[in-house]
Amino acid sequence: MVNIQEIQEKELSDRIIDHEKKGGALRICVFKISENYLGELPDEYLAHLVTARQTLEKQNYEWNFHLNKVAGKGQYRNFKFATIDYEKLDSSGQKIDLIHFLGPHFDIEKYKPIVRGQLGNETLNSYFYYDTEESPVNKVDMNKLDADFRKLYTENKGWFICTLMEPPYNMRLGKEILKRGEYVLDFLEYFFGDLSKLIIYSWNTDCSVVFDAGKEWWGSYFWTVYNPTKQWYIGIIASETD
């Protein structure tokens, strides 16, 4: 038995809601795990597994709640209600390192996000360090960074920075790449703190229909992250389509 409770703090709730209002695709749950009635704590894998289960259970509930609202009489047979396939989930946890998790859109040595341009045809689909001027001379070769990343991590379980900043519809953060980069850094500082101390697991995305939408093209992602400074177990689900 694991004693796990979702953290209900105003600042935490406000930040999660703000991310969704800005158009973000991440669905975030934060938990605290404490000793059970026997005075025992779960081992690392079990703690992350229970976090994954609880996160997915909440997302399934929201999925099914929405379907129940929109389904008309006799239409239920046309809907896929969400359940957890525990056989696919429970043994699927894979521990990944920080660079794998963050993906190529974050320079860990410089501690800087690399963000998509916003201003016009010359820079709109190019990438820049967030604290540089958005001009062609400052373009980052994202194609090379992406290719190098894929060689290093042939089975990509990461890509977090991209999912944070590039949902199917643009994040409502204005047109300044500086502001966008500052949003990334603030997000990382609040939720994760010291990145070097994080323990991160990636999970199977075939264990619920909530992941189906992202498989069309954008992507489906499922992580649990332990922040030891705050003693937070963070469940993150991302799966969207246009």
Give the DSSP letter string of 83-125.
---HHHHTT--EEE-HHHHH-TTEETTTTEEEEE--SSTTTTT
Beta strands 199-202 and 94-96, pairing class? antiparallel
C-beta separation of 25 from 238 below 8 A: yes
Distance CA 126, CA 84 (A): 39
φ/ψ of 50, rounded to 5, equals -65, -35
Per-residue pLDDT band at 73 (split at 50, 70, 90): low
67 pLDDT exceeds 90?
no
Distance CA 191, CA 52 (A): 17
Which pair of tokens denotes residue 118?
A: 């916003």
197 pLDDT exceeds 90?
yes
What number is the average pLDDT over the span 123-144?
Answer: 94
Q: What is the pLDDT of residue 74?
A: 58
Mean pLDDT over each residue of the chain, to the nearest integer = 93
**pTM for the full predicted model:** 0.93
Q: What is the pLDDT of residue 77?
A: 59
φ/ψ of 58, rounded to 5, equals -65, -40
For 89-113, b/e burial (b = at least 16 CB within 10 A) is bbebbeebebebbbbbbbeeeeebb
Greater confidence, 68 or 138? 138
Helices (H), the chain: 10-21, 44-70, 86-89, 98-102, 142-152, 160-165, 177-191
Q: What is the pLDDT of residue 75?
A: 58
Residue carrying the six token digits 């009489």: 73
Q: What is the pLDDT of residue 215?
A: 87
Greater confidence, 151 or 216? 151
What number is the average pLDDT over the span 42-49?
Answer: 97
Q: What is the pLDDT of residue 223?
A: 98
Q: What is the pLDDT of residue 189?
A: 98
13 pLDDT exceeds 60?
yes
76 pLDDT exceeds 60?
no
Q: Is 127 helix (H, G, I), strand (E, B) or coil?
A: strand
What number is the average pLDDT over the span 106-133?
Answer: 92
Residue carrying the six token digits 């004693």: 3
Sheet holding 220-227, edge to edge: 3-6, 27-34, 232-239, 220-227, 199-202, 94-96
Per-residue pLDDT band at 92 (split at 50, 70, 90): very high
Q: What is the pLDDT of residue 161?
A: 97
Q: What is the pLDDT of residue 1?
A: 83
Q: What is the pLDDT of residue 72?
A: 62
What number is the average pLDDT over the span 196-214?
Answer: 95
